Amino acid sequence: MQRKLIRLLPILTVIATLSASADNVRGPVTFIASLPLPGEQEIDQTLKPGEIGAIGYPDDATFVEGVEIEVIVPEAIRNAPGSFAIYIYRSVKPPPEQRLMSFAATRVMLQPIPPGNRLFLLVPIRTPNDIHAGPGAVVAAAVVDKSSFPLLVSFQPIAKGIPPQAMTAEFRIFVRPIAGSKGGAHIVVSEAETGKSIVWAASDSPIVVTLNGDPLPYQSDRYLLDPGLYRIEIDSTAYNSETRTFEVDKGRTTEVSIPLDRPSAFARFAAPRGATVFVDGTQITSFERVRLSPGEHTVVYRLGDYTVSRRFTAEQKKDYEISLFLDIMINETK
């Protein structure tokens, strides 16, 4: 007997999803929530028979193929098999508000609650998609696009003689996005000094960008990519070349920010203990490797009352060693 019921459920679902006429949906709206993005916290709510939940379109559906509604069936409902069904509606008028009790809407699914602890309902929101039915999972026959949101969810009795405890039982539902197979990367290349974005679309661009060795066309929007590791390389005549490795996850956008420095010269300083060093009037606190802009600079060493200065020109991408040596001169005078 149980096998017959399970085989009939998909037929009932197909008949229900083909209904295009508007139904009158009545009941209190107990929650209104937007579908979360992939990786965000799922919607976790409860509904009693006759109550209504509203699910809004996600803020960004780039990586979302559909809506998954997981239903946890309470024990009181399991003890009354075949007594309840879950209804899902689209194209709701007026827009759902918690103060309203009556709506006109088009039915997307009517799914009897089967024996078991839980049920999964999958509603596609775009084509093509990779959403398939599986054990305990039912797929709506129709694709519900953005213009048909929000969705309404309600549990209703479909039989007579239902025990009172079943009519007050709470269904727990989890609502999640169904992520597509792609991920994304938002790549921003900028000048480190000014923060200004660098566009490499023109043929005379000062930078050349490759992704995993292939030329990367410029776009300000994110790139849709397969999940995995990527290596971005930037070669430039006006800036220092840079390399980054980043990972793209399914259904998520990875932010990749690459500031480029102008080519610099570097200097290391050596001096006797107690000496102070100034470059262009600024004291050097670390004698290790100091970045210098290309061009002319003035170096001053000060040791007690002794001061010596020197001007020199630094060329980009060159290293310099700057030292002060004191010596004792002995000359024969007689």
Q: Taking the CB of residue 194, how many other CB atoms lie within 10 A of it? A: 8
**175 and 187 inside one domain:** no
Look at phi and psi of residue 108 and say left if phi exceeds 0, alpha if psi is from -120 to 50, else beta. Answer: alpha
Q: Taking the CB of residue 239, how many other CB atoms lie within 10 A of it? A: 19
Confidence of residue 18 (pLDDT cuts 50, 70, 90): very low
Residue 80 has pLDDT above 50, yes or no: yes
**167 and 33 inside one domain:** yes
- Cα–Cα distance for residue pair 314/202, rounded to 1 Å: 31
**121 and 38 inside one domain:** yes
**17 and 62 inside one domain:** yes
pTM of the model: 0.68
Region 41-63: mean pLDDT is 95
Which of 126-135, 167-176, 245-254 bottoms out in mean pLDDT, i.e. has the lowest? 126-135
Confidence of residue 332 (pLDDT cuts 50, 70, 90): confident
**55 and 140 inside one domain:** yes
Diameter of the chain measured on Cα atoms: 132
Whether 332 is in a domain gets the answer no
**153 and 283 inside one domain:** no
Choose among 60, 67, 70: nearest CA to 183.
Answer: 60
Q: Containing domain of residue 226, as a range? A: 183-260
How many structural domains is the chain composed of?
A: 3
Whether 333 is in a domain gets the answer no
18 versus 259: the higher-pLDDT residue is: 259
- Per-residue model confidence (pLDDT) at position 42: 95
